Amino acid sequence: MERLLVIGASGLLGNKLIQLGKDRFEMSGTYKEHAIKSGGMHFLDVSDMRSALKVIDKVKPDCVIDTHALSNLDYCEAHPEEAWRVNVEGSKNVAEACKKQGSKYIFISTDDVFDGKKLRYTEKDKPNPVNYYGKTKLIMEYALSALDMNYIVARTAVLYGTGGLGKSSFATWLIQRLRSKEKVRIVTDQRNNPTLTDNLAEFLFKLYEKDESGLFHITGKESMSRYDFSKEIARAFGLDASLITPITTPELNQIAPRPGNVNLVSEKAERATGLRTLTVREGLSIFKKQVA
Ligand SMILES: NC(=O)c1ccc[n+]([C@@H]2O[C@H](COP(=O)([O-])OP(=O)(O)OC[C@H]3O[C@@H](n4cnc5c(N)ncnc54)[C@H](OP(=O)(O)O)[C@@H]3O)[C@@H](O)[C@H]2O)c1
């Protein structure tokens, strides 16, 4: 069985990869703040190159899927040095350790590398991040292409799904608010492709199995506003959508600029894998069955 190491196994995507991968790979993972007390799990702070080398040398993975990041846009904007240390230096540490070990490296990037000025984005479109988080991810993409190693960059967006010990996803947060009958204000002018972590995980496994490399967009099929996504969540979970009030981005006073409308096209990944990205309704119907 091939050995896969997930960096950030305590996170939303990382945890899903561990759950879904265990029937076809020998899975192990890392955590930082949120300890996972089961076999094959290792503490790792990616900012420390020696620790990254040590874990990868111990596990000797065929492939590393690196899901770690500081992914809160406003936090990254307000703490650029920390964001650089974790998202750029930390990712480079893991990638270089993979190169030394001869492991394939899969890096999870974001739709925030784009400025939202085009209607749809393929892998051929030129990135132009408008916030610091997007910049750190793009710089790591460029760093990887200079490392001369076997890698995949997977750009994704608005993850939702079950699992993860740290922060909850937007969808989980919304469900909790609506279940408690709380009113929420959601923006109508930020559009991206909500992506079920299960669907993304299947694509990542398949790209690895097919020995693909390079850049791929992997998101849900449709781009929709956060407000419309919220309405879909309320509908799927039988919750009261009238608690959701539409607002626009300036009313939120967010620190980090948002790209506005981003629609990633995942056709290259679909062709390479033979898999299909999910619509929001398909994704939410799977998610609903998993949520208690
Ligand atoms: N969530 C989204 O909507 C979204 C959209 C586009 C792209 N992405 C990208 O997709 C990936 C997965 O996102 P996610 O939402 O699953 O992330 P997440 O739930 O926030 O999990 C992040 C993981 O990274 C680990 N981590 C953080 N700092 C670390 C460090 N210094 N050293 C080692 N590990 C560290 C965390 O460990 P502990 O919790 O144990 O500290 C956690 O396991 C990220 O690369 C993110 O940038 C996410």
Q: What is the atom index within ligand 1 of the atom nearest the CA of 86?
A: 31
User: In angstroms, what is the span from residue 240 Cα to ligand 1's centroid?
Assistant: 31
**End-to-end Cα spacing for the chain:** 32
- Counting ligand 1 atoms within 8 A of each CB, the residue from 139, 159, 172 with the most, and so the one to mutate, is 159
For 219-272, write each residue's pLDDT tens digit: 999 999 999 999 999 999 999 999 999 999 999 889 999 998 999 999 999 999
pLDDT tens for each residue of the chain, 292 residues long: 999 999 999 999 999 999 999 999 999 999 999 999 888 999 999 999 999 999 999 999 999 999 999 999 999 999 999 999 999 999 999 999 999 999 999 999 999 999 999 999 999 999 999 999 999 999 999 999 999 999 999 999 999 999 989 878 999 999 999 999 999 999 999 999 999 999 999 999 999 999 999 999 999 999 999 999 999 999 999 999 999 999 999 998 899 999 989 999 999 999 999 999 999 999 999 999 999 7
Q: Which residues line ligand 1 (CB under 6 A)?
A: 8, 10-14, 31-34, 44-47, 67-69, 71, 86, 90, 108, 110, 156-159, 164, 166-167
Distance CA 284, CA 209 (A): 27
The pair phi, psi for residue 139, each rounded to 5°, is -65, -40
Q: Could you tell me the CATH superfamily of domain 3-167+193-223+263-278?
A: NAD(P)-binding Rossmann-like Domain (3.40.50.720)
Q: How far is the CA of 140 from the centre of ligand 1 (A)?
A: 15
0.85 surpassed by pTM: yes
Q: Where are the domains of the chain?
A: 3-167+193-223+263-278
Cross-strand partners of 110: 156
pLDDT digits (tens, 9 = 90+) for 85-110: 999 999 999 999 999 999 999 999 99
Q: What is the 3-state secondary structure (H, E, C) of 35-81?
A: CCCCCCEEECCCCCHHHHHHHHHHHCCCEEEECCCCCCHHHHHHCHH
The amino acid sitting at 147 is L
Are the CB atoms for 12 and 159 separated by under 8 Å?
A: yes
Measured on CA atoms in the order 275, 19, 191, 117, is the torsion positive or negative?
negative
pLDDT of the residue at 113: 98
Tokens matching residue 29: 């993972």
What pLDDT shows up at residue 84?
Answer: 98
